[in-house]
A and B are shown apart, each in its own frame.
Chain A
Amino acid sequence: MINKLRLNAVLAVLLAFSISGCSVRDMAASGMVSFGNEYMSPWFMASNDTDIMCAMGEGMAAMTYPMGPNIDPLIPMVTLASGMCADEKAKQEELRFLRAMSKNDVPTAQDARTLQKRWTRLAAQRQYFGYQAAVRYFGEPGEKCPAFHDDNEEMAYMFGMFGGMQAVQMDLAVGGAAGVPLDVLPRAMDGLKCVESDKFWGIPNAVAAVVDITKARLDDDQAAIQLGMDRLNLAARTGEAEGVRMVHLIEAAMYMTQGDENGIKNVIRKHVKMKEEYPANPKLNLLDEMATRGLVLISDKLWTEHTGQRTPFGKFGTFWDDQLIPADTLDIDDLL
């Protein structure tokens, strides 16, 4: 009798699954997403070890991607991390290129470029994968904004769109080797407009402002440049007030595109000073640390270009040509 009841229960559960279309894989994926949102993500976001994030991004791929469509909302965060990993390796190769060039060592310089391209292609592929997951789950961006169930979904969408934009830029840098379609760029930019900027530390507004500034510079429209700069400053302040200073990284990247070394230096100085005075939001340490890590890489590039080495230990926020002795220092002849 009991056995028969058990059998009926199992059959009923199986029937329920078959009617609802649920599979064990789907259930596992949904479980993973809710576990991820409830436990993993908060722990992860509070951590300040960005190397763990990098390793997690690469290591979790095989654990999560095969879980099918229900895992899609988790993927943009994973690919943001794994894409960042590959991109960082590409940037390290660029530093090697710069050092080799300064020593007139052509074979090493060319070898470094080869590796830089390989890592950039991989970074583009990973970021594009994250964008595709966001599109599968939330729909094609551009037509209408998705209805987010919670902030986790909205953040996943933002990471997906941000990854899409990065994927196109990286792929263009390697001559289209990653095969990222070019229309991902305008679509991801449209998608990013659906994310509430103030809720996400000013990132969406900062990206939009940088796009406007870049266009205005091409058109030589000074009024539009100023307007864009004002919007960028406002977006930076949103993140600064919340202790998540990701916009600083966006600002520095923009100045780098413009070849404005002083602009980069000022952003880095501002970032370091703020970090000393106002610690990161303890729940969101990781994002603030990611921004710092990106800025260290930019600082390393400047230091390497000028001195042949990375930012010396403990010197982040300072530069090789900083004036050691202020001009108004007392002169010994006036004292003796």
Chain B
Amino acid sequence: MKTKMKKAFSGLLTALGAALVVGNVQAEPIPVKMCAFMFMGEGGPEHQALMDYQAAALNWGAKIELKSYVHDKIVVEELKSGACDMANMPSLQARNFNKFTGTLDAPAAMPTYEHLRTVMQTLAKPSAAKYMRNGDYEVIGIQPAGAVFIFTNDNSIKSISDLAGKRMAVLDTMPEMRQLVVDLGMTPVSSTLTNIFQKFNNNAIDITGGPAIVYKMMELDKGLRPNGGILENPVMQGNMQFVARWNKLPEGFAQKSREFFVKNFDQTLKTVREAEDDIPKDLWIPLEGQGREEYHTQTRQIRLAFREQNVYDAKMLTLLRKIRCNKEPTLAECTDPNAE
């Protein structure tokens, strides 16, 4: 009887010991402060997606504490000042931390979502990790935000040169946008973030850019009808990038985080792709023949000009060109001796 009790007792001790050992193995997660850019506010769709990210991040050893912001520029400042350890921001702002990934929004660089998928997958492979880190910062995730299209009230536009003379809204907060509009021969019209589409609907501007989601949400039919349309070729692939101070993260976190966004690629794009399918077929303006060639040439010129100005990263432009040529080897740029 005594032996039995002794055995049971020692068994219990072993079990307790094992539990303690297991408990010790699972270290406490590292707290990480995130400045979260949420255009639609706390509790909105971006926040909801971040809750899933928070839960996944716990598995990778970090406990993310979110603080919400509605202005991306402030998010950048907060990350730089050290007020937060990580932040999410549009590609344009991510360029402040990593020119390579910050070039992903180069015009017409990824004509379809399949191009985008290949790029995302390539960048999420461990072999690409070396390009993700720059100084104190590392890009730990790229989230697709949908293709950006050109909406016009004149469907006779068949190429970029046809845009000359048209009025286009520019944000006062983005001087580089004004420059690009002027360079393309268009007339910039000063606007705020929230009145651009209203201006388009009231005919105060002729051209505007945006993801397909704005077509219904902002009732752009009012500005598009009767003679307008949407250029079928997206002008760029919008994306949000998660940038962190890498020394604030647990070992292996960055790689797992990058893979997380690739895994959720289709789910993330569901709303925008459905919005694209919802646009009436007659509104899409296809670019064909000479117009298409011209579009390729002109967008390429813009990319090269920005490369010369040290805005875009040459390596990323090469990668994007190679992926375009991989999917469509007959493109003129694929045999060009001065290819990107």
> Which A positions have Cβ atoms within 8 angstroms of B?
97, 101, 104, 106, 109-110, 113, 169, 172-176, 181-183, 185-187, 214-215, 217-221, 256-259
Contacts and interface: CB of A to CB of B under 8 A. Distances in A.
Given A220-B71, A221-B192, A257-B44, A104 B271 contact: no
Interface stretch (B54-62, B283-291, B298-306, B312-320): B54-62
Nearest to B269: A175
Most A CB within 10 A of own CB, among B48, B274, B275: B48
Contacts of A104: 28-29, 58, 63
B194 interface: yes
Contact of A257 (B43, B56, B195, B216): B43
Most B CB within 10 A of own CB, among A176, A187, A256: A176
25 contacts: A97-B51, A101-B54, A101-B58, A101-B63, A104-B28, A104-B58, A106-B58, A110-B52, A113-B51, A169-B44, A172-B271, A173-B45, A175-B271, A176-B274, A182-B213, A182-B275, A185-B217, A186-B217, A214-B41, A218-B39, A219-B194, A256-B42, A257-B40, A258-B41, A259-B41
B278 interface: yes
Q: Is the interface of A mostly helix, strand, loop or mixed?
A: helix
Nearest to A220: B71
A249 B48 CA distance: 21
Interface of B: 28-29, 39-45, 48, 51-52, 54-56, 58-59, 63, 67-68, 70-71, 192-195, 213, 216-219, 267-268, 270-271, 274-275, 278
Contact of B42 (A113, A183, A259): A259
A221 to B, nearest CB: 7
A181 B192 contact: no
A183 B219 contact: yes
Nearest to A94: B51
A219 B58 contact: no
A175 B270 CA distance: 7
Given A106-B58, A181-B278, A259 B270 contact: no
Contacts of A169: 44
Most A CB within 10 A of own CB, among B71, B217, B278: B217
A183 B268 CA distance: 20
Given A173-B48, A214-B41, 18 more contacts: A97-B51, A104-B28, A104-B29, A106-B55, A172-B44, A172-B271, A175-B267, A175-B270, A175-B271, A181-B216, A182-B275, A183-B217, A186-B219, A187-B219, A217-B70, A218-B193, A257-B40, A258-B41
Contacts of A106: 55-56, 58-59
A181 B221 CA distance: 14
A258 B47 CA distance: 12
B200 to A, nearest CB: 14
Nearest to A217: B70
Contacts of A181: 216, 278
Contacts of A176: 270-271, 274
Nearest to A219: B192
A256 B42 CA distance: 6
Contacts of B63: 101, 104
A259 B47 CA distance: 11
Given A185-B217, A219-B194, A172 B58 contact: no
Contact of B45 (A97, A110, A172, A218): A172
A219 B193 contact: yes
Nearest to B57: A106
Nearest to B67: A259
A186 B218 contact: yes
Nearest to B52: A113
A104 B23 CA distance: 13
Nearest to B68: A259
Nearest to B63: A104
B62 to A, nearest CB: 11
A256 B55 contact: no
Contacts of B274: 176
Nearest to B172: A219
A22 to B, nearest CB: 38
A7 to B, nearest CB: 56
Contacts of A174: 48
Nearest to B29: A104
Contacts of A187: 219
A220 B70 CA distance: 10
Given A104-B29, A183-B219, A259-B67, A215 B194 contact: yes
Given A218-B70, A218-B194, A219-B192, A173 B55 contact: no
Query: Which 7 A-B residue pairs are closest in the complex by CB-CB distance?
Result: A257-B41, A182-B216, A183-B216, A176-B271, A219-B192, A215-B194, A182-B217
Contacts of A97: 51, 55
A109 B192 contact: no
A185 B217 CA distance: 7
Contacts of B43: 256-257
Nearest to A186: B219
A104 B63 CA distance: 8
Contacts of A258: 41-42
Nearest to B264: A175
A259 B54 CA distance: 17
Contacts of B270: 175-176
